[in-house]
Amino acid sequence: MKRAVVLLSGGLDSTVTLAMAQAAGFEISALSFDYGQRHRAELLAASRIASQAGIRDHVVVRIDLRAFGTSALTDEIAVPLDRTVEQMNAAIPLTYVPARNTIFLSYALALAEVRKANDIFIGVNALDYSGYPDCRPEYIAAFEAMARLATSRSVGEGEQVHLRTPLILRAKTEIIGLGTELGVDFSATVSCYQASDQGEACGRCDACLLRRDGFIQCGLPDPTRYVESVRRPQ
């Protein structure tokens, strides 16, 4: 059975990506990061999801991005709320963490080498949320080209590393549709940038708004657990 490394944040996109990798027949090594993100519930969700999916190799790497500051995901900067999609796409968001995907993929590359996996799955999406430079197809292609020169496999025979981004050009509605077909339990996933410790979503940050809109457009009930202040007006 071929092995793949899957980056698993505990959010909707990475969980669907994991289901797709499993459906494609890969044995999975899941990789999550504890980087001081303030939505700790995401990490708990990743562990639950990996367990539900029957994954026995789930590596959580502690990394200290706080030294690099400047992001609303790790700092005390307020998460922007109630923005339109146009506002979201107008500039690189405050929630951008410098070089985050580059750091995450570098660890994935190391784990892939140790586990002898040729495939790395990452649930980046360039369509619904184009604010992050390190989600674009040209970035992914450049990382793959670099990765093929970076490891001990690149100087021996052996197969090359493939970076798999099955969601990169899919709309949120498609991603939810794919996940539904594959039996993903969306209620276990946490997308909110400021979820409570119990995994309740704020309903107002960019991630919440895009996610909720996806369920509405799919005509599917939204299984997200929201904080009380959001639940009531709905």
- Considering the complex, state which of residue 154 and residue 229 has its C-beta at the smaller distance from a second copy: 154
CB of 125 to a second copy, least distance (A): 16
Among the listed residues 147, 176, 190, 205, the single contact to a second copy using CB under 8 A: 147
For residue 91, count CB atoms less than 10 angstroms from its CB and return exposed for 0-12, middle for 13-18, buried for 19 or more: exposed
Rg (alpha carbons) of the chain, rounded to whole number: 17
Site membership for a second copy, residue 134 (CB under 8 A)? yes
Question: What is the SS3 assignment for 180-212?
Answer: HHCCCCHHHCCCCCCCCCCCCECCCEHHHHHHH
Site membership for a second copy, residue 139 (CB under 8 A)? yes
- H-helix or E-strand containing 119? strand 119-121
Site membership for a second copy, residue 168 (CB under 8 A)? no
- Considering the complex, state which of residue 1 and residue 149 has its C-beta at the smaller distance from a second copy: 149
CB of 43 to a second copy, least distance (A): 15
Q: Which two tokens stand for residue 172?
A: 């949120």
Site membership for a second copy, residue 89 (CB under 8 A)? no
Site membership for a second copy, residue 145 (CB under 8 A)? yes
The site for a second copy, by CB under 8 A, has a size of 45
Residues 130 and 90: their CA atoms lie apart, in Å, by 9
Residues 73 and 104: their CA atoms lie apart, in Å, by 15
Among the listed residues 19, 79, 103, 117, the single contact to a second copy using CB under 8 A: 103
Among the listed residues 23, 24, 51, 70, the single contact to a second copy using CB under 8 A: 70
Which residue's structure tokens are 């604010």?
131
What 8-state DSSP symbol labels residue 81?
Answer: B
Tell me if 60 sits within 8 A of 43, measured CB to CB. yes
Site membership for a second copy, residue 57 (CB under 8 A)? no
CB neighbours of residue 227 within 10 Å: 17
Among the listed residues 77, 92, 169, 216, the single contact to a second copy using CB under 8 A: 92
CB of 47 to a second copy, least distance (A): 15
* Residue ranges that bind a second copy, judged by CB under 8 A: 59, 61-65, 67-70, 92, 96-103, 105-107, 109-111, 113-114, 133-134, 136, 138-139, 142-143, 145-152, 154-156
